[in-house]
């Protein structure tokens, strides 16, 4: 029986920060110098975490909160790569076995890194993985399941990023994070709205997979019927889970939809101006900020991850 959805308190977030301090990096927040005519944009560089993605925050907190009985069973999760790396990293530190049901289209470097961290991989199509996330089960797979986004302690770990953002950018007016399952923006919103309710928190999604924007437009959780796989493999789900919508609508102000070309241009811009390697999902917030829809700023864009094959990265940013 799942526990009912409840707000993530500021005290829980502060406790999570203390709990995971020895595992995660307090990542830098840097200004993206674009010159006149552009919004004031700051980048929160979660691509610099030990697994090159923010998911380590949530995974480390979720694993740390497991009971002894849950630990003995080992852990498993479902992932396109970054949550899997986070859970595998935290499990290895805790001496636990780890299995990841991984989406077949996940980038090969992500799969290799999960294996290098000691995880056993079960590769499945996206539809199978999404259904497993909804059902919180996969065939006869045993162990303690750590949901990659619909999990209170996981989101509380993600929320620690919000504390850092407000400390390093106290003048921020808008914060944007990519949306896959929603665990990042719910974490950001939970921390930021508790301290600065005037700051706007938005999601960002690719045009090929934007159920959150559809959900905000209809004021209820939606399925994105025309979902299409793309290089933005770390974000953009097929639907918004009802439990995640309940969390999201309370602390998130909406979601921006951007084109795949806008994502490519944002990846290229970060590489050119700041020498930052971002995967597609990590560039969604900057792509959204550059549309002007979030205003003049200061806007904090979360670069959620940098786990992308370098050959693929070069191909994507080489389009000009």
Residues 24 and 171 placed together within one structural domain of the fold: yes
Closest alpha carbon to 49 in 58, 41, 36: 58
Name the region of 64 (left: φ>0; alpha: ψ -120 to 50; beta: rest): alpha
Which domain, by its residues, includes 122? Answer: 56-145
CA max distance for the chain: 58
| Residues 73/48, Cβ–Cβ less than 8 Å | no
Site of tokens 């089960």: 137
pLDDT at 283 exceeding the cut of 70: yes
Residues 95 and 199 placed together within one structural domain of the fold: no
Q: What are phi and psi of 54, to 5 degrees?
A: -65, -20
How many domains does one find in the chain?
A: 2
Cα dihedral 103, 107, 109, 114 in deg (nearest 10) = -20
Inside any domain, residue 36: yes
CA 63/CA 85 separation, integer angstroms: 13
Kindly give the residue spans of alpha helices, DSSP state H, lying in 117-151: 126-135
Q: Average pLDDT over the chain, rounded to whole?
A: 95
| Residues 180/279, Cβ–Cβ less than 8 Å | no
Provide mean pLDDT across the span 267-276.
Answer: 96
Burial of 137 (0-12, 13-18, 19+ CB in 10 A): exposed
| Residues 90/64, Cβ–Cβ less than 8 Å | yes
Which tens digits make up the pLDDT trace of 43-94?
999 999 999 999 999 999 999 999 999 999 999 999 988 899 999 999 999 9
Helices (runs of H) and strands (runs of E) counted in the chain: 13, 10
pTM: 0.95
CA angle 189, 195, 201 (to 5 degrees): 25
Which tens digits make up the pLDDT trace of 91-140?
999 999 999 999 988 888 889 999 999 999 999 998 899 899 889 999 88
Closest alpha carbon to 27 in 52, 50, 51, 44: 44
Containing H/E element for 30?
Answer: strand 29-32
Residues 49 and 190 placed together within one structural domain of the fold: yes
Share of the chain above pLDDT 90, in %: 88
Residues 77 and 40 placed together within one structural domain of the fold: no
Q: DSSP per residue over 286-298, as a string?
A: HHHHHTTTT-SS-
Closest alpha carbon to 46 in 18, 73, 26, 69: 26
Q: What is the pLDDT of residue 233?
A: 87
| Residues 242/215, Cβ–Cβ less than 8 Å | no
Residues 19 and 64 placed together within one structural domain of the fold: no
Last residue of a domain, one of 145, 163, 185: 145
SS3 of residue 320 by DSSP: coil
Which tens digits make up the pLDDT trace of 203-223?
999 999 999 999 999 999 999
Inside any domain, residue 1: no
Last residue of a domain, one of 124, 145, 166: 145
Q: What is the pLDDT of residue 1?
A: 75
CA 15/CA 186 separation, integer angstroms: 17
Q: What is the pLDDT of residue 231?
A: 93
Inside any domain, residue 45: yes
Q: What 8-state DSSP symbol labels residue 136?
A: T
Cα dihedral 54, 204, 263, 27 in deg (nearest 10) = -30
Residues 43 and 73 placed together within one structural domain of the fold: no
Inside any domain, residue 5: no
Q: What CATH number did the domain enclosing 79 receive?
A: 3.40.50.1100
List the structure tokens of 184: 């990042």
Strand-strand pairing, 144-145 and 174-178: unpaired
Closest alpha carbon to 235 in 273, 283, 199, 291: 283
Residues 162 and 187 placed together within one structural domain of the fold: yes
């Amino acid at each position: 029986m799942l526990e009912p959805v409840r707000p993530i308190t500021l005290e829980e977030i502060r406790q999570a920060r203390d709990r995971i301090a020895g595992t995660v990096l307090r990542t830098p927040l840097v200004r993206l110098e674009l010159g006149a005519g552009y919004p004031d944009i700051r980048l929160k560089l979660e691509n610099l975490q030990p697994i090159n993605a923010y998911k380590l925050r949530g995974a480390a907190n979720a694993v740390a909160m497991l009971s002894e009985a849950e630990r003995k069973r080992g852990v498993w999760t479902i992932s396109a790569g970054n949550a899997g790396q986070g859970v595998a990293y935290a499990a290895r530190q805790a001496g636990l076995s780890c299995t990841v049901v991984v989406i077949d289209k996940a980038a090969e470097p992500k799969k290799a890194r999960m294996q290098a961290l000691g995880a056993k991989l079960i590769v499945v199509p996206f539809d199978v993985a999404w259904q497993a996330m909804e059902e919180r089960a996969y065939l006869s797979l045993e162990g303690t399941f750590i949901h990659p986004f619909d999990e209170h302690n996981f989101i509380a770990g993600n929320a620690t990023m919000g504390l850092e953002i407000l400390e390093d950018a106290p003048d921020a007016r808008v914060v944007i994070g990519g949306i896959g399952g929603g665990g990042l923006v719910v974490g950001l919103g939970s921390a930021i709205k508790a301290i600065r309710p005037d700051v706007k928190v938005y999601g960002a999604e690719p045009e090929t997979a934007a159920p959150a924007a559809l959900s905000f437009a209809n004021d209820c959780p939606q399925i994105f019927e025309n979902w299409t796989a793309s290089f933005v493999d770390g974000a953009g789900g097929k639907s918004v889970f009802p439990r995640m919508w309940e969390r999201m609508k309370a602390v998130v102000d909406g979601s921006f939809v951007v084109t795949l070309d806008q994502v490519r241009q944002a990846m290229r811009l970060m590489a050119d101006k700041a020498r930052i390697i971002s995967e597609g999902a990590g560039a969604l917030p900057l792509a959204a900020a550059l549309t002007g829809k979030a205003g003049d700023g200061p806007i904090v864009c979360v670069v959620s991850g940098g786990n992308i094959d370098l050959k693929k990265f070069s191909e994507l940013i080489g389009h000009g």
